[in-house]
Chain A
Amino acid sequence: MNWGAIWATVGAVCAALFAGIGSAIGVGITGQASAGVVSENPDLSGKCLLLQLLPGTQGIYGLLIAVVIALNSGLMSGDVSALTTTTGVRFLVAGLPIAIGGLVSAIYQGKVAVAGINMVAKKPTESGKGMVMAIMVETYAVLSLLISFLLVNGIK
């Protein structure tokens, strides 16, 4: 059994899966809040949509790291014979920042975006501030992405 390939696969799966779950939750709760606001005032749907999109990026970051792991480890081309257990585990661990950071930040970003959507309902002109508040949370997803990327890319 090639443990290296298994660990690398687990790493790619974790990155895409957990960040994806976080984004699904974040986008889900913001979507519910948007629907409430839009039912009162359909003109605000554009602004609400922008806020709803924000917690969706973590899933993309997770996918990105998953693909880079798959490419660098050879999972994409199918040639994994050279993959040692150590390297496989390194891929797994390198994927963890975006997996966990993405999961948690997407959920909290979703909560902030929900608050932002409520703000848009009361003050439609202030949607920009709501976006900036949500993006403050995303900073940490971006940092997780960066460190995951640097670590994965560093594995030769």
Chain B
Amino acid sequence: MIVAMKRLSLVALKSEQDTILKALQECGTVQVLNIADGESVNPEADAVNARIQRLSESISAVKPYAKKPGFLSPQKRELTLSAIRDDVPKAETAAGEIEELLHTQSRLQAEREKALAAKEALEPWVRLSVPMSSIRNTARVHYFIGLCASKDQPKIDEQDYLEAEYYNEATTIPTILACKEEDTRNVQNFLKTIDWQDYVFPKMEGTPGQAIEALERRIAEIDSEAEQAQTELEGHGDAIEVLQNAFDAETIDYDRLAVRGDLDYTVSTFVLEGWMREDEVEKTERAIKAVTDAYSFEVRDPVEGEEPPSVVRNNKFVEPFEEVQTLYSRPVYGSLDGTPYMTPFYILLFGLMLSDSGYGLLLMLGSLIYLKGKKPTGMSKGIAKVLFWGGISTVVWGVLCGSCFGITRMSSSSIELGGVFDKISLFFEKLAIFPAWLDPMKNSLGMLGLCFGLGVLHIVAGYIVGAIDKFSRGDWKGAIFDQISWVLITLGLVIGFLPAITGMAGMPVALPDIVTKIALGAAALGALFVVLFKGREKRNPLKRLTSGLGGLYDVTGVLSDILSYARLFALGIATGVIGQVFNMLCSMLTNASSPVMKIVGAIGSIVLLVLLHTFNVAINALGAFVHCARLQYVEFYGKFYESGGREFSPLSYKTKHVQVSE
């Protein structure tokens, strides 16, 4: 059911603002609304946010070097708030050091690249045997240093006012030209006509050869410095828990400080407006009373035009399925929570889609181990529980009309399995339990009938849920004309045409004539309701009639909804037959003639079987989960559900790594 919400107006002293907000955050029951005028500046919150950013960068920098948490260790550590607050100074120091190290690393990286580039540029000049600094213009002589293309070398040699030195014979030749001061202009013009590129020696001591050696030494130094920085960074891997604790502590502070921007202020008081659950009003007031007695705590119901957040509350069994509903959309506040109605159908249909009791067992055990070991919270917890119930249903459906790890009663008769698997399937054949009721491989149409039958049940249930909801709101017209009429049409048509349809499929179901006549009559009555009252808001009788006739067209929608349940069958065989194929593949391995190969094959096939079946259960469980959810969202919720509710997000401890305990 959807929980009623209350609007809170809290007025208290500004001086006690932080104490009160702390108490509210610990209580975790109030979603604060923004009633501040205009943009407010919040330097304190911004400062905390900057620290959070720094911590988050540090965490991702040292994460690769931290000890990995055990496979089954809980997702969040349980610590008290003061314990993680105490870690903040330590984490600040560590984050500072890590930031410094990251800076050093990027500086060294840049320096290394620069040195490498300089070294590469100098390498052609190694044959120059005088110090680079000695080649500089004097009063009489002008030098040109550069790289010239080898094809232009003869042209340089032709110029009689130039002295040239070449330092190697590559395609671009390192060249030094010397000329008299008065010829400078001539040489500059000449160089423009050939392929010439100026070069400037780096400001370094000695000959190019010596400079290269110096650069190499520098690069080695940089490398060792970088290595040291890396080791230090890796050493900080142990600090990750402290960093994460501090991250959560700062996040908690930030959330609280950010709320200040949502409040309204007078000279000495603050005003807080927010939503809370009706059943938590007392708890909230107690929390405030505990810290102050100078306050005004006013609570009222939501008024027309307000859109309170939507929260649903259900018993422990149904609760995990709220996550499936949330994946789609929350219900609009004041409408109907679909979870309790969807839950039994979800479990029922999930099992039929997976329909392999072995896989069901794996799913049950897997989700149990995950729940006990990881102690997940929020959505993963809900989904794990959903899979647990789905697993139970899968075991049951597997026995009734599926397989067990791909082995069915008919495996050995229809498919030639070899070796051990013949014996295993013979064992199952003797037990003769899989599938105990309906074999989809032999009786495809029966199975299809079962799927459509479940579909009709599901759809009609959807209409009835909507009808009951509308009745309870006093909207009896909507209940009868929009909901019950479709129950009549759907059931009436299905029952009325059942003998004909099953007759076409070769397995006629005989119904007494009177039953089919009544059923068709009911369908006609439903259709009449739709035609006459679908457009009951419209005054113009002609428009009303066209709207009614248009409404009748929805019968095709109901038909396609029913056909949509064929997926139950298809996904069921996809699991079972693929499992069977995997078994077959592996049994081929054990068919070798020599005993050694038999043993090798047996070991290989066991490893392969585990891997392949794990893959199969994973991909089919994913498929069953999502396809089953779709049947709820489209086929079931389409009949009554109002989607679009807003999330309830109270001021509370929203932590990532730590579970805050009392």
Mark A residues whose CB is within 8 Å of B.
Answer: 50, 53-54, 56-57, 60-61, 63-64, 67-68, 71, 76-77, 128-129, 131-132, 135-136, 138-139, 142-143, 145-146, 149-150, 153-154
Is B577 a contact of A132 with CB atoms below 8 Å? no
Is B570 a contact of A142 with CB atoms below 8 Å? yes
User: Can you report 22 residue pairs joining A to B where beta carbons are below 8 Å apart?
Assistant: A50-B622, A54-B622, A57-B619, A60-B574, A63-B578, A63-B581, A64-B574, A64-B578, A64-B581, A67-B577, A76-B416, A128-B327, A129-B327, A132-B327, A138-B627, A142-B570, A142-B571, A142-B627, A145-B570, A150-B448, A153-B441, A154-B444
Is B619 a contact of A56 with CB atoms below 8 Å? yes
Is A143 a contact of B574 with CB atoms below 8 Å? no
Is A71 a contact of B627 with CB atoms below 8 Å? no
Is A132 a contact of B567 with CB atoms below 8 Å? no
Nearest-neighbour CB distance to chain B for A43, whole angstroms, equals 9
Please provide the chain B residues from 42 to 78 with a CB less than 8 Å away from any CB of chain A in the complex.
none
Nearest-neighbour CB distance to chain B for A59, whole angstroms, equals 11
Please provide the chain B residues from 515 to 553 with a CB less than 8 Å away from any CB of chain A in the complex.
none
Is A149 a contact of B415 with CB atoms below 8 Å? no
Is A149 a contact of B622 with CB atoms below 8 Å? no
Selected contact of A61 from candidates B566, B574, B629, B630, CB within 8 Å: B574
Please provide the chain B residues from 153 to 179 with a CB less than 8 Å away from any CB of chain A in the complex.
none
Is A143 a contact of B570 with CB atoms below 8 Å? yes
Please provide the chain B residues from 129 to 144 with a CB less than 8 Å away from any CB of chain A in the complex.
none
Is A64 a contact of B577 with CB atoms below 8 Å? yes
User: What 4 pairs across the A-B complex have the smallest Cβ distances?
Assistant: A128-B327, A146-B570, A135-B626, A142-B570
Q: List 10 other contacts, CB 8 Å, given A68-B577, A150-B448.
A: A53-B619, A57-B623, A61-B574, A76-B415, A76-B416, A128-B328, A135-B627, A138-B627, A142-B627, A146-B570
A77-B416, A129-B327, A150-B444 are known contacts. Are A60 and B619 too (CB-CB below 8 A)? yes
CA distance A71 to B622 in the complex (A): 28
Contacts of B328 in A (CB 8 A): 128-129, 132
CA distance A40 to B662 in the complex (A): 36
What is the chain A residue whose CB lies nearest that of B569?
A146
CA distance A139 to B629 in the complex (A): 13
Is A149 a contact of B578 with CB atoms below 8 Å? no
CA distance A39 to B258 in the complex (A): 30
Is B414 a contact of A71 with CB atoms below 8 Å? yes
Nearest-neighbour CB distance to chain A for B544, whole angstroms, equals 34
Nearest-neighbour CB distance to chain B for A50, whole angstroms, equals 6
Contacts of B327 in A (CB 8 A): 128-129, 132
Nearest-neighbour CB distance to chain B for A49, whole angstroms, equals 10
Please provide the chain B residues from 584 to 602 with a CB less than 8 Å away from any CB of chain A in the complex.
none
Is B627 a contact of A149 with CB atoms below 8 Å? no
CA distance A67 to B564 in the complex (A): 25
Nearest-neighbour CB distance to chain B for A117, whole angstroms, equals 15
Mark B residues whose CB is within 8 Å of A.
Answer: 326-328, 414-416, 441, 444, 448, 564, 566-567, 569-571, 573-574, 577-578, 581, 619, 622-623, 626-627, 629-630, 633
For chain B, what secondary structure do more than half of its interface residues adopt (helix, strand, loop), or is it mixed?
helix
CA distance A145 to B622 in the complex (A): 18
CA distance A53 to B617 in the complex (A): 13
Selected contact of A53 from candidates B326, B441, B622, CB within 8 Å: B622
A57-B619, A142-B571, A145-B574 are known contacts. Are A136 and B581 too (CB-CB below 8 A)? no
CA distance A68 to B627 in the complex (A): 24
What is the chain B residue whose CB lies nearest that of A77?
B416
Contacts of A131 in B (CB 8 A): 626
What is the chain A residue whose CB lies nearest that of B647?
A125
A63-B581, A77-B416 are known contacts. Are A142 and B444 too (CB-CB below 8 A)? no
What is the chain B residue whose CB lies nearest that of A144?
B570
What is the chain A residue whose CB lies nearest that of B380?
A46
A63-B581, A64-B581, A146-B570 are known contacts. Are A135 and B444 too (CB-CB below 8 A)? no
Nearest-neighbour CB distance to chain B for A27, whole angstroms, equals 12
Is B567 a contact of A143 with CB atoms below 8 Å? yes
CA distance A61 to B626 in the complex (A): 17
What is the chain B residue whose CB lies nearest that of A50?
B622
Contacts of B622 in A (CB 8 A): 50, 53-54
Contacts of A129 in B (CB 8 A): 327-328
Is A71 a contact of B570 with CB atoms below 8 Å? no
Is B633 a contact of A132 with CB atoms below 8 Å? yes
A57-B619, A145-B570 are known contacts. Are A132 and B441 too (CB-CB below 8 A)? no
CA distance A142 to B623 in the complex (A): 11
Selected contact of A153 from candidates B444, B567, B633, CB within 8 Å: B444
Is B415 a contact of A71 with CB atoms below 8 Å? yes
Contacts of B416 in A (CB 8 A): 76-77
Is A139 a contact of B619 with CB atoms below 8 Å? no
CA distance A87 to B328 in the complex (A): 46
What is the chain A residue whose CB lies nearest that of B60?
A42
Contacts of B619 in A (CB 8 A): 53, 56-57, 60
Contacts of A132 in B (CB 8 A): 327-328, 626, 629-630, 633
